Structure 1
């Protein structure tokens, strides 16, 4: 049974919306949390799963794009228009911005060695907490799934974006990362509002032993959160074994591709955000939409052989400084 450790986070992008966020906004989306071993399902848990299965069947039998999904689509189009009008969601890599060894070291420690969310029992609590260095050791195989609401042409574009970014991640990290047409260990799901609310049974299939709180958080994802990713390991291991990312199917193209970059990169082990990181997608200011030069360097540092899974910030900081100095020579 998978001992759940939710280690990568949701793209919690708080923005000034062009209109009030659509309801419901009922729960904070988790970013990083740990959980005890999954217990034997109780009668209440079995009842909750049965209810989710019934809801999933109901959604599948309804129209593909309900009023709730159409409302979300319009909302996110307005958000993207507003951000691009402000000069945000930049698509360059920020290469013109100088980086220092001190800055790159600080940002690595803040983003790779702190958690934005921790778990207090079944409750997810916001607030940066020291963590350990976590990453993948086994090959990463990314599978892409779509809700029925996503049309064929959009699926083709989405698959191409995930495939292209997986190749970029493999190049940057030196790790074995590929998109697979079969079952993977990193699942990317494109779901509309109704499909996401009913995704519980499928999540239990994709990640056996996934905590109930994680399912509930995904199904109740607030409108201010465009996408989310959870990565898991066995027991207390710092090595990832499974991950699942949720991307809203209502997102327009620029926000949609931005979610691919941030969630897949965070699912590799850069789990936190930092308001001081720039130029970076690991910053909630939405200045950049795509992986920057700064972010690629952080990934190189994370997968450098001198970095060992399980390291604390105190142990990793001098090694990060050494690597940063070499990268910026």
Structure 2
């Protein structure tokens, strides 16, 4: 299930009074007739190969495959007996099929899976496009989700408390339903396709300690990474089969990973510490829906305190600082800046967290823009824009480009600013969706420019 955590970036509130509300980043699908430039999409994926040791990856694989997000253990290993067929039903937005085709191609070529699209009702996986309201009616905190042994959302309520939809009782995978929003931005629909199809086909768990994976509830990575493709490839290795126990899979994994990822044999083992449940709960309270601002702030302080007491120096410590910065941004911008700077320092310690750092960079660039420091904004955005592009994050990419355009205006390069701003709009249409949401993001970032503020 992809959770409704507040977006990791793009929330520039606190930099300027009256910023737009959070839901503008969860925009509706673009209008049929848009007055903005054509929507842009990504072409060739550029996933980086995993650079961790096979010993660490084996540990990750076992925790992903034999545990649910709730922490409940699964008794046996389950997967599809290939081939895997996928069909689409419901009110699919225009971008869904092209993005699904690209995903199926990647699963075939990178993970080596036998996956194909079909229109048959007997498909192994049904992707049903429904409204966000319909999703929230069934799972209030979910942006999208996957359920075994049903094919339509109308079947979910009757099945959810029965053996039919119980992951713990599953012994093999035959039929899955993935529910994605039909009225979200193209990027959110694509992100749901990647995460939910990966879980329908492979592991069901998420681990906060993974810095380079969609199998992480922090929602930083939104398209399948090189690590994810390796996990899926190992998941369907011929040495494994349905019904295997934890120990049986663990015994075969070293040989599987040595064959699939020989570079991981020589990499040093790091064994990052387990993520305690109280830290996970605190983060989800701080950034999830349903809590008051005071409760969120208290939970963020708790998450940061836990990270500090455990001596973490990795992306989880940075994420706790990010949560604090996010929640302090409106009331205390200077304190928020300190937390964003701390997050940036921790993220800079690892080459696995370039995307995480690019997210935080958008916050640092926004603050520099409010100070009228165009050169510093350009330094930030020049560093982060290639990262956002290589990770196919159009919302982040367009935000950084809009910040860059304002910085170019500040430094007297108006014609360049106009070109960058125009170029950003096609990415913004993919990242934010409807024209009104794109224009709202433009206004929000434009209002950070002190020159424009002085002009009223």
Higher relative contact order (CA 8 A, sep 6+): 1
Which stretches of structure 1, 4 residues or more, deviate above 6 A after TM superposition?
A: none
Q: Give the length in aligned residue pairs.
A: 220
User: Of residues 86, 102, 109 in structure 2, which corresponds to 1:142?
Assistant: 86
**Which structure dedicates a bigger proportion of its chain to strand?**
1
How far the C-alpha of 1:172 sits from its partner, in A, is 3.9
Q: Does the Cα contact within 8 Å between 2:86 and 2:125 map onto a contact in 1?
A: yes
Alignment check: 8 A CA contact 1:92 1:290 kept: no
Relative distance call for 1:168 and 1:93 in structure 2 (3 A) is: same
Aligned ranges 1:73-84 → 2 under 5 Å = 74=24, 76-77=26-27
The CA deviation string for residues 135-175 of structure 1, in whole angstroms up to 9 with x for no partner, is 0014322111123xx5xxx33x2111112212322334444
- State which of 249, 255, 271 in structure 1 corresponds to 2:188: 255
Alignment pair present for 1:180 and 2:93 = no
CA pair 289-263 structure 1, distance change in 2 beyond 3 A: same
- Whether contact under 8 Å (2:49, 2:227) holds in the other structure is no
1:281–1:289 Cα contact (<8 Å) kept: yes
The partner residue of 2:51 within 89, 98, 108 is: 98
1:226 equivalent in structure 2: 143
* Mapped partners of 1:143, 1:104: distance in 2: 32
Matching residue of 1:113: 66
More helix by share: 2
Q: Which runs of 5 or more residues in structure 2 are unaligned?
A: 13-20, 29-43, 151-162, 263-456
DSSP-derived class of the 1:127 partner: coil
Matched, 1:241 2:174: yes
Give the RMSD, CA atoms, in angstroms: 3.0
1:161 alignment counterpart: 99
Aligned counterpart, 1:14: 5
**TM-score with structure 1 length normalisation?**
0.59
Distance 1:237 1:227, change over 3 A: closer
Which secondary structure state, in structure 2, belongs to the residue aligned with residue 128 of structure 1?
Answer: coil
Within 2, Cα distance between the matches of 1:167 and 1:290? 13
Match of 1:193 in 2: 132
| Runs of at least 5 residues in structure 1 that lack an aligned partner in the other structure | 1-9, 20-70, 79-90, 117-125, 198-217
